[in-house]
Amino acid sequence: MSKNYRKSRLLQPAAYDAMTKFKLEVASEIGYLQFCKENNDHYKGDVTARQNGLEGGPIGGEMVKRMIASAEAKMG
């Protein structure tokens, strides 16, 4: 998928670079940096959905946890 497609999915398209940086930081901290598409652009069409979920799921999950914690800290 192209970078423009991903940009259109964010509420603030200008935040694309910040989200990419955030994703790479989180992936590095939890030891999953090798699974970020920015670091490996090889063909993954032969990988099962289950395997993709096992590789990328923890990154997204940790990102959500941190965004929620940040929002809660701002609220109260």
Q: What pLDDT, on the 0 to 100 scale, is given for residue 1?
A: 45
Please compute the mean of the pLDDT values over residues 8-23 and round it to a whole number. Answer: 82
| Domain limits, the chain | 3-75
Q: What pLDDT, on the 0 to 100 scale, is given for residue 5?
A: 54
Distance CA 70, CA 52 (A): 27
pTM listed for this prediction = 0.74
Contact 40, 52 (CB under 8 A): no
Contact 24, 33 (CB under 8 A): yes
Distance CA 10, CA 22 (A): 14
Q: What is the mean pLDDT of the chain?
A: 84
Q: What pLDDT, on the 0 to 100 scale, is given for residue 56?
A: 87
Q: Quickly count: other Cβ atoms within 10 Å of residue 57's Cβ.
A: 13
